[in-house]
Structure 1
Amino acid sequence: MPSWLENLRTLLAENAALGMWMMGFSVLALLATIVALPWFLAALPADYFTKNSKQRDLKSHVGLRAIVVLAAKNVLGLVLVLAGIAMLVLPGQGLLT
């Protein structure tokens, strides 16, 4: 048995209440999802997936703030993509340890 699985087994054996709380929360989340999903789907308009969404006119929103926000979003996206690629090739916890 892997050591991490043995550690988890020991943790749950020593803290039975924690395991029960985790199991109870999981069951509660499952039931809430089963109840909420049909309600959310019924609340959607009938043409939600077929109608064209309103396209924002970029020319009417061009300004320094819009350019800065757009640049920041693109830089954040680039950082996240590079972090994802790095996590694919770095072993273990990567640069944290």
Structure 2
Amino acid sequence: MSGAKRPAPKEAAELAPSNIYEWDPARVAEFLTSLSLDRWKPLFEEVDGATLTELSDADLKEIGCTELLPRKKLLGHIAKLKITASE
């Protein structure tokens, strides 16, 4: 065996699709974690990226995301990801 080192395995976030429309529910959960919104992960267990892009402020309230500022934070990041995906 040669002395060459094998590359370290990539983190899950690095392997996940960068296009929000291609995200699975696990990637949505990672996204929530990245925004320090782990407490909402149970509310999004069946939400994929395409569905996430369609959620409105009212929808978020309806599923249990009651805090205003975190909702706005989430919606702002989703909007940015939608723009990135369309480029």
* Greater gyration radius: 1
Q: Is the pair's TM-score, using the shorter chain for normalization, greater than 0.5?
A: no
Greater share of residues in helix: 1
